[in-house]
């Protein structure tokens, strides 16, 4: 099954709506494993940025459970989503369509940030901040990994 166009850019934007650093962390992990992205990478081809993206992704997962964690729709939260979705959306777009992929991912991430926040608030009222955060983490990290895994170009196995 071949899915082309900007489908994966849109999906990674949806991931960014709930966890701003997960898209870049998912791409960084794939690059560290040797996978190639369909589109040109911005920054995430360098090991220092790959490790930084992974660290920021892990930090966000931990910080989200704190009572003082701000809503994802505050200015800095939306800015982080715009940057992460843009970089990841470009990387997952077909070669030559990186700008459209970035725009698509951002256009998906920002409005969905409000929807995912509303869902999270309902879950927090029902099952608490930590439990709802852990469930959201599991779903969003799995979605980020799945989107990137489906979008990356397979590495060629060595010839024997």
pLDDT tens for 81-124 read: 999 999 999 999 999 999 999 999 999 999 999 999 999 999 99
Question: Is residue 124 assigned to a domain?
Answer: yes
Question: Is residue 123 assigned to a domain?
Answer: yes
Length of the chain: 160
Distances from the Cα of 14 to the Cα of 17, 19, 51, 54, angstroms: 5, 9, 23, 19
Question: Is residue 160 assigned to a domain?
Answer: no
pLDDT for 44-70, tens place per residue? Answer: 888 899 999 999 999 999 887 777 878
Beta bridge partners, 153, equal: 36
In the chain the beta strands, taken as DSSP E runs, fall at none
**What are the tokens at 24?**
């870049």
Q: What is the pLDDT of residue 1?
A: 37
Question: Is residue 158 assigned to a domain?
Answer: no
- Structural domain tally of the chain? 1
The range of the structural domain enclosing residue 114 comes to 7-151
Question: Is residue 145 assigned to a domain?
Answer: yes
In the three-class reduction of DSSP (H, G, I as helix; E, B as strand; rest coil), residue 65 is classed as coil
């Amino acid at each position: 099954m071949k899915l082309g166009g900007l489908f994966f850019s849109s999906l990674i934007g949806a991931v960014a709506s709930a966890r701003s650093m997960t898209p870049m962390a998912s791409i960084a992990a794939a690059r560290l494993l040797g996978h190639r992205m369909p589109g040109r990478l911005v920054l995430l081809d360098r090991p220092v940025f790959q490790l930084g993206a992974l660290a920021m992704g892990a930090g966000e997962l931990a910080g989200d459970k704190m009572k003082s964690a701000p809503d994802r729709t505050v200015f800095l939260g939306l800015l982080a989503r715009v940057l992460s979705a843009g970089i990841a959306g470009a990387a997952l777009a077909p070669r030559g369509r990186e700008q459209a992929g970035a725009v698509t991912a951002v256009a998906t991430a920002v409005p969905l940030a409000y929807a995912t926040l509303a869902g999270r608030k309902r879950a927090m009222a029902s099952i608490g901040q930590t439990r709802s955060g852990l469930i959201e983490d599991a779903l969003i990290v799995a979605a980020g990994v799945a989107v990137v895994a489906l979008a990356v170009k397979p590495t060629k196995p060595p010839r024997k």
